[in-house]
Amino acid sequence: MSGGGLLVAGTTSDAGKSVVTAGICRWLVRQGVKVAPFKGQNMSLNSFVTREGAEIGRAQAMQAQAARVEPSALMNPVLLKPGSDRSSQVVLMGRPVGELSARGYHGGRQKTLFEPVVQCLEELRRTYDAVICEGAGSPAEINLRRTDIVNMGIARAARLPVLVVGDIDRGGVFAQFFGTTALLDAEDQKLVAGYLVNKFRGDVTLLEPGLEMLHGLTGRRTFGVLPYTHGLGIDEEDGLRVSLRGSVRESVVAPPVGEDVLRVAVCAVPLMSNFTDVDALAAEPGVVVRFVDRPEELTDADLVIVPGTRGTVRALEWLRARGLADALARRAADGRPVLGICGGYQLLGEHIDDEVESRAGAVTGLGLLPVRVRFAREKTLTRPSGQALGQPVEGYEIHHGVAEVLGGEPFLSDGHGHGLDGCRAGSVWGTHWHGSLESDGFRRAFLRVVAAAAGRRFVPAPDTSFAALREEQLDRLGDLIEEHADTDALLRLIEGGAPSGLPFIAPGAPALPGAPDAGTTPGAAQ
C-alpha cells in the first residue's frame, strides 16, 4: 500500500468520527501499515503541543498515538479556538495567526487556507502508506460547501473515498445517512462509498433489514455496526456542545486502595480548555471527578480544580457572579486544597493585565496566589519537564499570560531548587503545565498531599500507569473496528478509493462554482 486514504465523515457533530478514525489507525498499524491521522480544520479548545512546539487538536494527538507515530502540525494544519460564540483564534501550522469572526473566516479567509491544507495532506500521503482523515460536523452543511476545506472539499481535492458515520443512539440514523448523501452534489456523491453505524445497542440482526433497505435506496453498503461501548476515555474535541455541570468523568471502575475515596470538583468555567487534564485523576481507583458550577458543590470536595480556559477574565467574572470565587477564598482560608491550571492558575493570582485575550486591561484576580499576570501577544507553546514533590513531571504549555511569581513556594522546578513554573501558597497550587497529572509518580505524590490536607484516609494505587491505560483504550478502539467492521472491504476502500458506478441520489445540491475541488485547486492530490 502506498498513499492510500480515507475520509471519515459524520452525519452530525459528535457522531463518533474521532473514535472511528483512531480505531482505524490502531487497527491498521497492528496490520503493519504505516498510517497517520489528518484533520484539515479542527475547532476545539482541547489542544496539544508537539515536540516542535506546534499547537494542534488533542484529538489528532490522540489519533497519532493510536497510529504509533509522533504528532505533527501536518496532521492538523488549521485549528480554530473559540473565544466567544462568534469569533475564534486561527492557528495555522501550529501558530496563531489572528482572531476572526465566523463571518470573516467563512467569508474569505478559509479559502486561502485550502491549498496549505491540501499540501499537508499530500506530504503525509507521500510519507505514509495510508492517511485516515477526519471530517468536521457534517459534509451536508450545504451553506458552508463553497469554502469547505475539511469534508467534501478535501475529499474532492485528494480523491478520497468517504465513509459516513452515524450515531444510532440519537435515533434516525437511516434518515441521517440517506439525507446526508442526497444533499451532496453529483460529484461529491461519487466519493461517498458507504456508511458505518456507531453506538448500537441490542441485537444487530434486528438492524439488518434496515441496512439492506438503505443499500437498495442508495446503492451504498454499510461497512460495520459498532456497539455502544462505555468508558473509552479518549480525548474529546471540546466541551462547547456538552453541558458538563454535575457530570462525572468516566473512569476505571475500581475500589479505593485506602479506606476513603477522594472527591475532586472541577469548576466548569466558560470556554474551558483542556479539561482532559483531569482524566489522569479519574483513572485513579477511588478518585471521583465531577464538573460543578455552584458554590455548595465545593463543600464536600477534597480538591477543587480551576481548569484552563480560553477566556481567563471571563472565567474570573463567572466565578464571582456565581459565588464560586467566595467559596474558593473560604477553602483557601481553611487550608483546603485548590489547584489552578493555566487560565485557572492565572485568575487565582493578585492581578491580571490583559490587552490581548479579553482586552479588559487591568483586572483584580482572586488573590489566592502571589502572582501577577501580563498577557503577551506571543503565545507560549512548549513541552517542559522538571520535578515536583520529589518526582519527575512533564507537561505542555499553551498560553498568552506571563506569570510573575512574587512569593510562596516553588511548585515545579528543574530539580536543582530553581522554580520553572507555578507556585504554592498554603493549600493553593497553580501551574501553567497541562498534562502534568499524567506523570504517575507526581500524581500519586500530589494526591497524598491532598488527602492529608483533606483528612482523608485515601491511598493512591501504587501501580496505576496512565500511559498504559491509554494504550489499553486505544487497543479497545482497534478491537471495535477489527471485530465489528468489514475490515477487508475497508482495506480495499483505503487502497483503491470509492467504487465506480455509485448511483446519484436525488435531489442533490447544485454544483457550486468556485467550490474547492480537484479541478480548481492547484497542486491537488490525484
Is the distance from CB of 36 to CB of 218 less than 8 angstroms? no
Distance CA 398, CA 32 (A): 34
Start-to-end CA span in the chain (Å): 16
Whether the pLDDT of residue 277 is over 90: the answer is yes
What does the pLDDT read at residue 118?
A: 96
pLDDT tens-digit series, residues 443-484? 999 999 999 999 999 999 999 999 999 999 999 999 999 999
Of the listed ranges 27-41, 226-240, 277-291, the one predicted with least confidence: 226-240
3-state SS of 200-269 is: ECCCHHHCHHHHHHHHHHHCCEEEEEEECCCCCCCCCCCCCCCCCCCCECCCCCCCCCCCCCEEEEEECC
What does the pLDDT read at residue 253?
A: 47
pLDDT tens-digit series, residues 96-105? 998 887 666 6
Tell me the backbone φ, ψ of residue 298, rounded to 5 degrees. Answer: -90, -15
pLDDT tens-digit series, residues 13-55? 999 999 999 999 999 999 999 999 999 999 999 999 999 999 9
Interior/surface letters 39-62, b for 16+ CB within 10 angstroms, e for the rest: bbbbbbbbbbbbeeebbbbbbbbb
What does the pLDDT read at residue 516?
A: 66
Whether the pLDDT of residue 522 is over 80: the answer is no
Q: Which among 40, 272, 8, 289 has a CA at the least distance from the CA of 149?
A: 40
Whether the pLDDT of residue 265 is over 60: the answer is yes
Whether the pLDDT of residue 250 is over 70: the answer is no
What does the pLDDT read at residue 138?
A: 96
Please state, for a pLDDT cut of 90, what percent of the chain lies above it. Answer: 83
What does the pLDDT read at residue 515?
A: 67
CATH for 262-460 is 3.40.50.880
The predicted model gives 262-282 an average pLDDT of 95
Whether the pLDDT of residue 242 is over 70: the answer is no
What does the pLDDT read at residue 412?
A: 85
Domain 262-460 in the same topology as domain 4-39+57-70+123-233+471-496: yes
Whether the pLDDT of residue 229 is over 80: the answer is yes
The predicted model gives 407-436 an average pLDDT of 87
pLDDT band at 487 (very low <50, low <70, confident <90, very high): very high
Residues with catalytic roles: 342, 434
Please state, for a pLDDT cut of 70, what percent of the chain lies above it. Answer: 90
Per the listing, cell 498531599 goes with 449
What does the pLDDT read at residue 520?
A: 41
CATH architecture of 4-39+57-70+123-233+471-496: 3-Layer(aba) Sandwich (3.40)
What does the pLDDT read at residue 525?
A: 35
Pairing relationship of beta strands 41-43 and 419-425 according to DSSP bridges = unpaired
Q: What is the mean pLDDT of the chain?
A: 91
pLDDT tens-digit series, residues 332-368? 999 999 999 999 999 999 999 999 999 999 999 999 9
In this predicted model, which residue has the larger pLDDT, 200 or 256?
200
The whole-model pTM stands at 0.92
Domains of the chain: which residue ranges? 4-39+57-70+123-233+471-496, 262-460
Whether the pLDDT of residue 491 is over 90: the answer is yes
The predicted model gives 379-384 an average pLDDT of 96
Whether the pLDDT of residue 417 is over 70: the answer is no
Q: Where are the alpha helices (DSSP H) in 360-465?
A: 440-454
What does the pLDDT read at residue 100?
A: 81
Contacts of 454 (CB under 8 A, 6+ apart): 262, 302, 303, 336, 337
Per DSSP, what are the bridge partners of residue 363?
A: 352
Of the listed ranges 13-22, 242-251, 344-353, 410-419, the one predicted with least confidence: 242-251
pLDDT tens-digit series, residues 49-91? 999 999 999 999 999 999 999 999 999 999 999 987 778 999 9
